[in-house]
Structure 1
Amino acid sequence: MTSLRARLAYVALFAATVFNLLISGGRAGLVGFLALLTMLAFQRLVRRPMLAAGVAAALVGGIVFGGYYGNDYFRLRVDRAFDEVVRYEELPKASVSQRIVYAANAWRVFAEHPLIGVGLGDTREAYREMNARYTPNWKPAWNPHNHYLYVLTAAGTLGAIALAAVLLLPWFLGAPADGRERVRKALPLLLIVICLFESYLMRSNTTLMFVLFTAASWCGARERPA
């Protein structure tokens, strides 16, 4: 059973993490954290899904509303994001506006090469041609800031199947009951969520982190010698 000291340490770590995410202004990290928090609520209350949903909604809502009304920088980032979504065609240099156009053009590239994509080496040129055709007033890019669209563009449907296997396999493989069951599902969920906002697995450091932490979480707990 977890001691009171350990529980207080967890609460302090949780509060510090929330505070750091709210003042940093990173939107993808906060969304990923809220997804993990929701999963934890359902893991801890697995036999009471309605209560789990209520707890998750209260925690997520409390963090979001608390951050919005308690932190000017966080509120500015949220308001700016909504404004850029609504008026993205008028704001070609805005971050969210650019991501919308990047995603649209990347999807167009995939629609023309749905099976195997255009290849990693031709992604930049394929996007440049699509950008000139549909959004010539926008600066061309080669990263759609969405890993799923990046894989669909570069490797097509076959690449997307391979990516799905990498991210979803830990959810369905059997594992020993060694206390790491929840952690094994947490890391894939985090990547699944944040890859909606950036091509994270295209980066060697993020990919290495995912591989190492996944391997570590799947190593069976070793018994200490008597």
Structure 2
Amino acid sequence: MTSIPYASVRRAAPTDGTGRGVAALLAAFTVAVFWSTALTNILAAAISILAIIRWVQYRPAFLLRHPLNLACLGFLGWVVLRDVAAGAALQEIASSINHLRVIGFVVLWSPLFLLERNAGVVAGALVCSLAAYACAALALLAWYGQLPYPSSPFDASLPRGLHEAVHALRTRAPDITGPIMLAAIFGALQWALDHPARRRQLVAFAALATAALFLASLRRSSHLGFILCALVFLLINRHRLSAGRARMALVAAAVAFPVLMWGPAGDGLQRAAHGGLEFLHATPEVRMQRSTSESERLQFWSVASGIVREHPVFGSSMARYFDEHIAMAKSLPDEFPRHGNPHNEYLYVLGAVGPLGLLLFLAIPLAAWRATARHPERRKLLALYLAAALPNMLVNSFTIDMIPGHFHALALLAIVFPGAATEKVRPA
């Protein structure tokens, strides 16, 4: 293995005013993802241009040998190859790449995350934005008795300025309270354990975000994901738990869990279990008449499974997938939603680019895991993030939805790349 010369490190990660400008731009982008799709796209374009300049000016070729970048490029390369083999036009291939652009952002933006500072400002902007959202959600619940969620009742008589703000919270609430909130909660707790200097602030944030997640959110997958992340958190920190602390943690959990389940979380999980069982035991005709979240997902998955059966080896190709999904759905009764998104990232990738494509897709988190082998603190954060993100991909779209997708790219970049320029790399 060879190490990167110091001069290359300094060029790839400048520490002058330009570096501070990059940090500010990344922080603005992180905040924008919460509130504005248009601003998110504008800032993503600006960051991409800046990253291209950094690639051309400083030529950090060692990043192309980084395991995470190799995995991302391998997956995108297979997507292109499969589209070409399917006879897709150049415009269709470009559309497929644009559809998965957040994976490309990991490679393109990696020179901007070699400094710990840039990762730190992204994490700080994320925590501040989530704290602001949690305060707003809990305040809306306490004052108006409403949840900022698309399926919750919405009082149109709210004051004009508040009406628009609540509408913005409602439309983005499912994404905001998804895996990124889980990862932020447990990442903050983990950082508080490893870095006691900001322990009080981080624990306060985690408590605030947890309250908003369970009391002011209907995101059932996150309520279940919280339990999994808590188990991973305890596993990571098992060496720090004495018998007395373990008993205290169990008592606290026994008291807190019924309280949290008393609110929307408990009701939502009961409805999810009941709706899923009802759907599984219903006749096909009755199934198509149901419009619950559970029944819709089961319907989506049945169609996606059909595409996998029709294209078991190489998939339908990314360029053809959505047309095939909708065409297959049309064979079902009219009540079936005409939707090309299967709400299961693994079924989607398997149906679009086959088993090899799915393996290449799964190689991305595995490569991130390998890249953090020498950084125990960052590996803990990555473990918590993957515990929140990977199970969620079973029931939701992720990289193909832009809000969670952008956060997915930011999480991988901020956890994996800081300090990568000073490590030894294996020649390609």
Q: TM-score, normalised by structure 2?
A: 0.45
Greater displacement, 118-127 / 39-48: 39-48
Which protein is bigger by CA-based radius of gyration? 2
Which residue does the alignment assign to 1:151? 349
Q: CA offsets, 1:120-171, max 9 Å, x none?
A: 2222221233223455542232111111111112111122111110122222
Q: How many Å separate the matches in 1 of 2:212 and 2:223?
A: 10
Please point out which of 167, 172, 178 is paired with 2:370.
Answer: 172
Q: Is the 8 A contact 1:119 1:155 kept in 2?
A: yes
Q: Note the residue ranges of structure 2 that are not aligned, 5 or more in a row.
A: 1-192, 422-428
Please point out which of 205, 215, 239 is paired with 1:13.
Answer: 205
Please point out which of 366, 373, 392 is paired with 1:194.
Answer: 392
Answer 1 or 2: higher relative contact order, Cα 8 Å, separation at least 6.
2
Q: How many Å separate the matches in 1 of 2:373 and 2:362?
A: 19
Instruction: Indicate yes or no: 2:218 matched with 1:25.
Output: yes
- SS of 2:290's partner is coil
Instruction: Give the 5 Å matches for 1:48-197.
Output: 64-69=257-262, 71=263, 73-88=264-279, 89=282, 90=286, 91-133=289-331, 137-177=335-375, 179-197=377-395
Q: How many Å separate the matches in 1 of 2:366 and 2:346?
A: 14
- SS of 2:399's partner is helix
Which residue does the alignment assign to 2:229? 36
Q: CA offsets, 1:17-46, max 9 Å, x none?
A: 221111211122333333222211101015
Q: CA separation of 1:100/1:188 partners in 2, compared to 1, >3 Å: closer, same or farther?
A: same
Quote the RMSD (CA, aligned, Å): 3.5
Q: How many Å separate the matches in 1 of 2:250 and 2:306?
A: 36
Q: CA separation of 1:100/1:63 partners in 2, compared to 1, >3 Å: closer, same or farther?
A: farther
Q: CA separation of 1:57/1:149 partners in 2, compared to 1, >3 Å: closer, same or farther?
A: farther
Q: Displacement, 1:82?
A: 1.8
Q: Displacement, 1:5?
A: 7.9
Q: Is the 8 A contact 2:372 2:379 kept in 1?
A: no
Greater displacement, 205-214 / 55-64: 55-64
Q: CA separation of 1:24/1:47 partners in 2, compared to 1, >3 Å: closer, same or farther?
A: closer
Q: CA separation of 1:41/1:121 partners in 2, compared to 1, >3 Å: closer, same or farther?
A: same
Greater displacement, 171-180 / 12-21: 171-180
Q: How many Å separate the matches in 2 of 1:7 and 1:18?
A: 16
Q: Displacement, 1:213?
A: 2.4
Q: CA separation of 1:115/1:2 partners in 2, compared to 1, >3 Å: closer, same or farther?
A: closer
- SS of 1:197's partner is coil
Q: Displacement, 1:113?
A: 0.5
Over 6 Å off, 4+ runs? 1-5, 50-61
Q: How many Å separate the matches in 1 of 2:250 and 2:366?
A: 25
Q: CA offsets, 1:67-101, max 9 Å, x none?
A: 223x1x33332222122112224452111111011
Q: TM-score, normalised by structure 1?
A: 0.79
Q: Note the residue ranges of structure 1 that are not aligned, 5 or more in a row.
A: none
Q: CA separation of 1:208/1:10 partners in 2, compared to 1, >3 Å: closer, same or farther?
A: closer
Q: Is the 8 A contact 1:18 1:63 kept in 2?
A: no
Q: How many Å separate the matches in 2 of 1:30 and 1:193?
A: 12
Q: How many Å separate the matches in 1 of 2:302 and 2:222?
A: 23
Greater displacement, 35-44 / 186-195: 186-195
Please point out which of 400, 408, 423 is paired with 1:210.
Answer: 408
Q: Displacement, 1:175?
A: 3.3
Greater displacement, 207-216 / 161-170: 207-216
